[in-house]
Chain A
Amino acid sequence: MPTEAAELVFDEATKVYPGRDGAAVDHLSLTVPAGEICVLVGPSGGGKTTALKLVNRLIELTSGDIRIDDRSIRDHDLTELRRSIGYVIQQVGLFPHMTIEANIGTVPKLLGRPRSWIKERSAELLDLVGLDPSYAKRFPAQLSGGERQRVGLARGLAANPSLMLMDEPFGAIDPIVRARLQDEFLRLQEELRKTVVFVTHDIDEAIKVGDRIAILRQGGRLAQYDTPQRILDAPADEFVADFVGRDRALKALSLRTLGELELAPLEAGALDGLPQLPADTNLRDALAVLVGARRDTLVVLGADASPLGVVRRADLIG
């Protein structure tokens, strides 16, 4: 039951909190194409969470407009608007007194779906986010942080929204689990193709997750809105260059994998002692391995762990 992903447009969206100097979000204009992940990133005070909450009207616009598939969010009934948008937050906000199944079924229940439908749907979603079906009857307190966040994601997806809002969804999770959740989220997105607005303060996460990145600066002004590659290759100004960091060339390496390079043929017997890496390793990690091993060449492995060819250090950074 796939829903068409929605196109999201910020049109001069502005939020000024009463009694405070300056705007929190200042004439923000950008378009998120249907089915893409737009990451809002920036320093604290950049208004990224405010911008996100403007979309489901947890915070009301002061001026400007936001449109979902050409329809202004002001023209929607408030609760209907929110029920049609998936919402995932950092602290997850699972209902402690409800089972995992009931948590996942929150929005479907609000929409009047029958109990049997909710049961089936939550089993399907548990599977989708990689949790055992036995979790359905557990309570949130029985889950680890990473598992809770998976449930949060499943809950956000439950009513099959065409737009997802994710506010630092992996922010409170330890780095190893976070990296895994990011990978799984990206794999899910391959399949689901939702339009996603994703807030983070972590530029590395933004580069990894985003199809497009919007960098917001103090006062909620848009500094640059572009693909990760473009932002790393050509920062619009000093602020963006500063924010992405001096290692932006290295970060750019993380956008490509060994499999995308032209490989040199294997020379028989020459593999001895060379580092071996799977083809889906990104170039940044590959370079790190080469530096660590004090080598100049590495072997690229295929999916079946058979060597495909070799790559030289110069090819990585060239």
Chain B
Amino acid sequence: MSGLLVAGGPVIPNFGKPNACLKNNGWFCTHWIHEHWHDILQPALIQHIQLVVIAVAIGFAISFPLAVIGYRFSPLDPVLGVFADFLYTIPSIAFFLLLVPLTGVTVTTVEVALVSFTLFIFYRNIVVGLRSVPPDVLESARGMGMSRRQTFWRVELPLARPAIFAGLRIATVATISIATLAAFLIQDGLGAPIFDALGTPDLFHTELLVAGGLAILLALTADFLLAGLQRAVTPWTRVR
């Protein structure tokens, strides 16, 4: 019964009460999943969602005004675009390390890196969306006496919605995947159990599969929900 523990040396806490499945390092030990849903998996999933939602929300909040500025004052667009592009290209783990001297080994460090990553996706998509508004539509808005502000909120922004939502979906899914790297720095998110499993001597299969699977499931669910929301707010794109 205790063969694994005896042979394995130091006790690996995540294993819990060993049974046959665990002893064989099975790929899907339901007993373990059941036992550790509340103390390992569910908290990791919730932390992961928090990491992503905060990063995407802040990323959007920063990109939106920048994109409107880049759209309105086109000479600024390349400058803002290149800056966002630069942040986007820094590898995430390198970014974490670069930030540690400034913000320490904290969730802030992770969020700053994740937000920086989303900026480029949001910025480009919002600008492209606003630019996609046909000139005749803008002319008729002006000719009928819409103010600039009215034209923006009633015409330009709604027509940019498909591109903005495309950006939101890409940014969300990409951030869900990159947020697993947060565990490189802090014990937060689905990356934590994944890294734990990777750290065991012979890779704890069940934990690796379940935590990784949750990350994939989360990404698919988020994309599905956002796609549904997009359909709901862009009814004109579905007609023919």
Contact = CB atoms under 8 A, between A and B. Distances in A.
A71 interface: no
A141 B143 contact: no
Interface in A73-110: 78-84, 87, 89-98, 106-107, 110
A169 to B, nearest CB: 12
Classify the interface of chain B: helix, strand, loop or mixed: helix
Contacts of A3: none
B191 to A, nearest CB: 40
A180 interface: no
Contact of A139 (B139, B145, B146, B239): B239
Nearest to B162: A97
A97 B236 CA distance: 5
Contacts, number: 75
Contacts of A93: 134, 136-141, 143
Closest 6 CB pairs of A and B: A93-B140, A82-B145, A83-B145, A91-B136, A87-B143, A93-B136
Given A93-B140, A96-B137, A97-B159, A80 B145 contact: yes
Contacts of B161: 97
B50 interface: no
- The range of chain A's interface size is 20 to 34
A107 B145 contact: yes
A96 B236 contact: yes
A107 B144 contact: yes
B144 A83 contact: yes
A29 B155 CA distance: 36
Given A79-B147, A97-B158, A58 B137 contact: no
A147 B230 CA distance: 28
Contacts of A98: 236
B231 interface: no
B146 A110 contact: yes
Nearest to B234: A97
A97 B139 CA distance: 16
A110 to B, nearest CB: 6
A97 B134 CA distance: 12
A138 B240 CA distance: 10
A110 B141 CA distance: 11
A56 interface: yes
B235 interface: yes
Contacts of A142: 239-240
A87 B139 CA distance: 10
Interface string A14-58: 000000000000000000000000000000000000000000101
Contacts of A79: 145-147
Interface in B105-145: 134, 136-145
Contacts of A81: 145
B150 interface: yes
- Output the residue of B137, B150, B159, B240 with the most chain A CB within 10 A: B137
B144 A58 contact: no
Interface in B141-193: 141-147, 150, 155, 158-159, 161
A65 B41 CA distance: 75
B236 A87 contact: no
Contact of B136 (A58, A83, A89): A89
Given A97-B234, A141-B240, A110 B145 contact: yes
Contact of B137 (A56, A95, A155): A95
B234 A110 contact: no
A110 B155 CA distance: 13
Given A79-B145, A106-B144, A107-B145, A89 B240 contact: no
A97 B234 CA distance: 7
A28 B159 CA distance: 39
A286 to B, nearest CB: 39
A89 B159 contact: no
A107 B144 CA distance: 6
Given A87-B140, A141-B239, 8 more contacts: A87-B144, A91-B134, A93-B141, A94-B137, A96-B137, A97-B155, A97-B161, A97-B234
